[in-house]
Amino acid sequence: MRKYVIMGPQGSGKGTQAKMLARDFDLVHISVGDIFRWHVQNRTKIGSKVQRYMKEGRLVPDEMVSDVVKDRLDQHDWRFGFVLDGFPRNAAQADFFLENYDIDAVIAIDLPEDAAIERMQSRRLCSGCGLDYNLIQLRPKVPDICDNCGGRLVTRPDDTPEAIRARLKDYREKTEPILELLREKEIIVTVDGTPSPERVQAEMRRKLSLPVEPGAAQS
Ligand code: AMP
């Protein structure tokens, strides 16, 4: 059983890295942002409550976030473990999490703020299947069209300059301080988020003492 949390500023490639890790080690990728986006897209009660916060790049209130995380983890469909992406993001969420769950490691992706802004501005999301693209590093084969499902690529509604600034400010002021707390607990591994996704992933696996080659993961 492997239980990881992945953290890093917006645009650092958390989602991409979490998916790569989950795919090769049979882990369930749990993205709090994706869960909320699903609710917004499907016009659920939760979706109507979180929509404004998300559009403005603000954090959703802690209680709603903890409920969503708890419900998701309670499904226990993660036989081999999970990678939790986008939680915790502040001290209250970290307290709730550390009190209720045991984790093996927190993976922190480091990325300078100007690189994070550049990546967010070049980020595109498939309106059909939700796959992430980046016009710098992960371009679709046909412009604006998803390689996977043929859906149209769109800009995330919270990737506007104002929302990007708000999200990075929250990261600096609310999320970064909890990295210190986790560092004291010695469960954190830090990786440089600047290189290609494959190189970031390889560094992460080395630091987690996991096999770097996907095939080797099964043996
Ligand atoms: P993400 O896809 O991780 O960038 O998350 C998108 C948005 O979902 C964030 O900007 C917040 O509005 C909301 N969100 C995701 N995770 C959290 C969290 N742990 N706490 C509060 N809001 C969150």
Residue 14 near residue 114, CB atoms below 8 Å: no
Known catalytic residue: 167?
A: yes
Nearest CA to ligand 1 atom 11: 59
Known catalytic residue: 156?
A: yes
Pocket probe for ligand 1: among 29, 30, 36, 85, the residue whose CB has the most ligand atoms within 8 Å is 36
Residue 184 near residue 102, CB atoms below 8 Å: no
Residue 53, ligand 1, Cβ within 6 A: yes
Cis peptide before 88 (omega within 30 of 0): yes
Cα(87)–Cα(84) distance, integer angstroms: 7
Residue 39, ligand 1, Cβ within 6 A: no
Pocket probe for ligand 1: among 12, 59, 73, the residue whose CB has the most ligand atoms within 8 Å is 59
Closest-lying ligand 1 atom to the alpha carbon of residue 88: 19
**Each residue's pLDDT expressed in tens, for the chain with a length of 219 residues:** 899 999 999 889 999 999 999 999 999 999 999 999 999 989 999 999 999 999 888 999 999 999 999 999 998 888 899 999 999 999 999 999 888 888 999 999 999 999 999 988 899 999 998 888 888 878 999 999 999 999 999 998 888 888 898 999 999 999 999 998 888 877 899 999 999 899 999 999 999 999 988 654 443
